[in-house]
């Protein structure tokens, strides 16, 4: 993993005091990677919590994502500057295009060019994409250049392993960021996962997060409970056997949970 830390905190659906508590707790536990997005409506709370935490900015890795309403060349950079103001920082470490949104009227070339310009201006250290298929990733590379896209953040868990896009990304040196790594909790009841967890005296969540990390992916699980935040972080210390990994690989069932009309591409 060269571009992005392997373990962070996701903040999707966390707002108000809930996100403040989650970010404060995670920073106290030693998390240093926080993932947010313009559409989450929590950048200001995250910025306030970081500012009050006493953690130095250069110790943190902060990601945000540009929402589809801001893809035009007139709006993208101003919207990112607004995000920076809310986050109380001069730059973010990574800025992603949140969805390819093929129907929203802004060409991929326009928003990828604007995103590259944001990096050139120092507003973001790295740029990337989210929820892109292989063809759209190829188009994005054509616009910004090979080696410029740090990651593609995609839904990825034992029930949706996305091997085609993952294989392609790895040939291009693009890091995989897995969101919904626990499949909205569904994999936590899986008997295969639970049997592995029992053998390792680990939690099912730790097993699944470790599986993704051992494959070289970044993970950004969210939690509002300090005990779960602490427990999840221990996934970095677990080690699964080749047999464990093979058993989890066999759980693939193309079980996609997130597929919003108008925003999502045609999946590989």
Residues annotated catalytic, as ranges = 40
SS (H, E, C) the chain: CCCCCCECEECCCCCHHHHHHHHHHHHHHCCCEEECCHHHCCHHHHHHHHHHHCCCHHHCEEEEEECHHHCCCCCHHHHHHHHHHHHCCCCECEEEECCCCCCCCCCHHHHHHHHHHHHHCCCECCEEEECCCHHHHHHHHHHHCCCCEEEEEEECECCECCHHHHHHHHHHCCEEEEECCCHHHHHHHCHHHHHHHHHHCCCHHHHHHHHHHHCCCEECCCCCCHHHHHHHHHHHHCCCCHHHHHHHHCCCCCCCCCCCCCCCCCCC
If you search the block for the tokens 């707002």, which residue do you land on?
15
- How many CB atoms sit inside 10 A of residue 144's CB? 18
């Amino acid at each position: 993993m060269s571009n992005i830390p392997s373990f962070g905190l996701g903040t999707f659906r966390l707002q108000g005091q809930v996100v403040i508590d989650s970010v404060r707790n995670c920073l106290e536990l030693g998390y240093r990677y926080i993932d947010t997005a313009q559409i989450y409506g929590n950048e200001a709370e995250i910025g306030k919590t970081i500012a009050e935490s006493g953690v130095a900015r250069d110790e943190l890795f902060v990601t945000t994502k540009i929402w589809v309403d801001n893809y035009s060349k007139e709006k993208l950079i101003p919207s990112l500057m607004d995000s920076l103001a809310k986050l109380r920082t001069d730059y973010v470490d990574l800025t992603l295009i949140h969805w390819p949104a093929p129907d929203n009227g802004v060409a991929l070339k326009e928003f990828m060019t604007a995103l590259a310009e944001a990096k050139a201006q120092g507003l973001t250290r790295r740029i990337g994409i989210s929820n892109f298929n292989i063809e759209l990733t190829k188009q994005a590379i054509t616009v910004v250049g090979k080696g410029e896209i740090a990651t593609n953040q995609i839904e990825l868990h034992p029930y949706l392993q996305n091997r085609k896009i993952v294989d392609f990304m790895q040939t291009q040196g693009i890091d995989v960021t897995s969101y919904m790594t626990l499949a909205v909790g569904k994999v936590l009841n899986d008997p295969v996962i639970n049997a592995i967890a029992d053998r390792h005296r680990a939690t099912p969540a730790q097993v699944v997060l470790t599986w993704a990390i051992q494959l070289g992916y970044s993970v950004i699980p969210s939690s509002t409970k300090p005990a779960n935040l602490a427990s999840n972080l221990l996934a970095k210390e677990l080690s699964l056997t080749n047999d464990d990994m093979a058993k989890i690989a066999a759980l693939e069932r193309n079980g996609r949970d997130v597929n919003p009309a108008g925003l999502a591409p045609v999946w590989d």
